[in-house]
């Protein structure tokens, strides 16, 4: 297979890095924690060494809880809203995000977000816009819906860390969930996801949701079949689905990752050397990042 485009869910990785490395273990000379920065850079280095991409784009959260999704489903991520109305980003992580962006810019690695959209939507759009093969790196199960064997698009799921990546193609998703990648969003809407504030259909768990999607094809067909005599719904399932009609009217639009975001053109080529070596040295010195920066540059130069 040709060298892939690596699409990185940056928030997924830097949150994981922040919680995986104690603040006390990595600080700048002025005392600022840089544990998330160090962990994130080391994750990128490992991904480049192991996946050997020739292109890379880091997707960003310009809007972690888009108003249009909240208008459809007010509970969407509501449990994560801080007192000031923003996301509950740990105090020690927030100042590290600009540092990560500065280092990416000095390296010449593309980073991209979009107003009114989440990183997931940026990843979804890039996965269809950019030439394949594509590998999406994330710990977010919602992105299983992007998998497409025809292009191909695969998900490198880092639920257990970047060192233990699970590579998901369509067959792997069918094996794990009982539905194809194209049916994952409908399964998620039916099942719900407390981490995103998606209630799901009361009384419909993952196995029942998978059976419904597998039998009827998609959520729209499931709902159409509710009015058909002899459609074969198990006792109580039809009642549960009808009771959740209002939720099911809006859930698909909330759950489905956008693939048509108006994104600017970026050069996805993985640099052969830092774009601004002087700036990179300055950042490494200021933030005590010499070792992880060197490891990442070594990985880039070895591709």
| CATH code of 111's domain | 3.40.50.1010
Same domain? 209 vs 73: no
Beta strands in 39-176 (DSSP E): 55-59, 110-112, 134-138, 153-157, 166-168
Cα separation, 291 vs 248, whole angstroms: 50
Model confidence pLDDT, tens digit, residues 133-157: 999 999 999 999 999 999 999 999 9
Q: Range of 67's domain? A: 5-179+258-298
Among 222, 237, 255, where does a domain finish? 255
Per the DSSP assignment, residues forming a β-bridge with 198 are: 193
Q: Any idea what the CATH number is for the domain that residue 247 is in?
A: 1.10.150.20
Total tally of structural domains belonging to the chain: 2
DSSP 3: P
Same domain? 36 vs 162: yes
pLDDT band at 130 (very low <50, low <70, confident <90, very high): very high
Same domain? 133 vs 275: yes
Residue 40 in contact with residue 46, Cβ under 8 Å?
Answer: no
Same domain? 104 vs 31: yes
Same domain? 216 vs 68: no
Same domain? 228 vs 141: no
Per the DSSP assignment, residues forming a β-bridge with 112 are: 59
pLDDT band at 234 (very low <50, low <70, confident <90, very high): confident
In a domain, 147, yes or no: yes
In a domain, 303, yes or no: no
Same domain? 168 vs 197: no
Same domain? 124 vs 272: yes
The H or E element containing residue 39 is helix 35-51
Which residues neighbour 224 within 8 Å (Cβ) at sequence distance 6 or greater? none
Q: What Å distances lie between residue 254 and 81, 172, 262, CA to CA?
A: 17, 25, 18
Average pLDDT, the chain: 95
65 C-beta neighbours (distance < 10 Å), count: 18
Same domain? 76 vs 205: no
pLDDT band at 1 (very low <50, low <70, confident <90, very high): low
Model confidence pLDDT, tens digit, residues 252-266: 999 999 999 999 999
In a domain, 216, yes or no: yes
Spatial CA neighbour of 273 closest among 233, 303, 239: 303
Cα separation, 181 vs 11, whole angstroms: 23
Same domain? 243 vs 270: no
Same domain? 266 vs 246: no
In a domain, 143, yes or no: yes
In a domain, 222, yes or no: yes
Checking if the pLDDT of 230 tops 90, the result is no
pLDDT band at 78 (very low <50, low <70, confident <90, very high): very high
In a domain, 113, yes or no: yes
Burial of 56 (0-12, 13-18, 19+ CB in 10 A): buried
Model confidence pLDDT, tens digit, residues 165-191: 999 999 999 999 999 999 999 999 999
Same domain? 195 vs 73: no
Checking if the pLDDT of 83 tops 80, the result is no
In a domain, 151, yes or no: yes
pLDDT band at 228 (very low <50, low <70, confident <90, very high): confident
Spatial CA neighbour of 18 closest among 39, 45, 47: 39
Spatial CA neighbour of 24 closest among 14, 16, 32: 32
Provide the pLDDT for residue 231: 73
Per the DSSP assignment, residues forming a β-bridge with 81 are: 87
> What are residue 101's phi and psi, to 5 degrees?
-65, -35
Helices (H), 181-229: 184-191, 206-216, 219-225
175 C-beta neighbours (distance < 10 Å), count: 9
> What are residue 149's phi and psi, to 5 degrees?
-65, -25
């Amino acid at each position: 297979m040709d060298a892939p485009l690596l699409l990185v869910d940056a928030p997924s990785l830097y949150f994981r890095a922040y919680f995986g490395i104690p603040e006390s273990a990595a600080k700048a000379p002025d005392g600022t924690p840089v544990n998330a920065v160090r962990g994130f850079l080391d994750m990128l280095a490992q991904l480049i060494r192991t996946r050997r991409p020739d292109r890379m784009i880091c997707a960003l959260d310009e809007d972690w809880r888009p108003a249009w999704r909240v208008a459809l489903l007010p509970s969407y991520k509501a449990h994560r809203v801080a007192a000031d109305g923003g996301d509950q980003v740990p105090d020690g992580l927030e100042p590290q995000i600009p540092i990560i962006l500065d280092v990416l810019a000095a390296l010449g690695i593309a980073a991209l977000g979009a107003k009114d959209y989440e990183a997931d939507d940026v990843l979804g759009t890039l996965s269809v816009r950019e030439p394949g093969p594509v590998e999406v790196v994330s710990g977010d199960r919602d992105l299983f819906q992007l998998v497409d064997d025809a292009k191909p698009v695969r998900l490198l799921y880092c639920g257990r860390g970047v060192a233990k990546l699970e590579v998901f193609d369509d067959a792997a998703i069918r094996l794990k969930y009982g539905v194809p990648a194209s049916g994952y969003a409908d399964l998620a809407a039916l099942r719900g996801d407390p981490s995103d504030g998606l209630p799901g259909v009361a009384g419909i768990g993952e196995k029942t949701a998978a059976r419904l999607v597998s039998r009827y094809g998609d959520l729209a067909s499931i709902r159409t079949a509710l009015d058909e005599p002899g459609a074969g719904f198990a006792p109580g399932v039809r009642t549960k689905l009808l009771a959740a009609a209002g939720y099911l009217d809006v859930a698909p639009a909330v759950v489905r990752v956008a693939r048509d975001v108006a994104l600017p053109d970026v050069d996805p080529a993985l640099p052969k050397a830092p774009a601004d070596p002087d700036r990179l040295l300055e950042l490494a010195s200021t933030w005590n990042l010499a070792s992880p920066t060197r490891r990442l540059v070594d990985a880039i130069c070895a591709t």
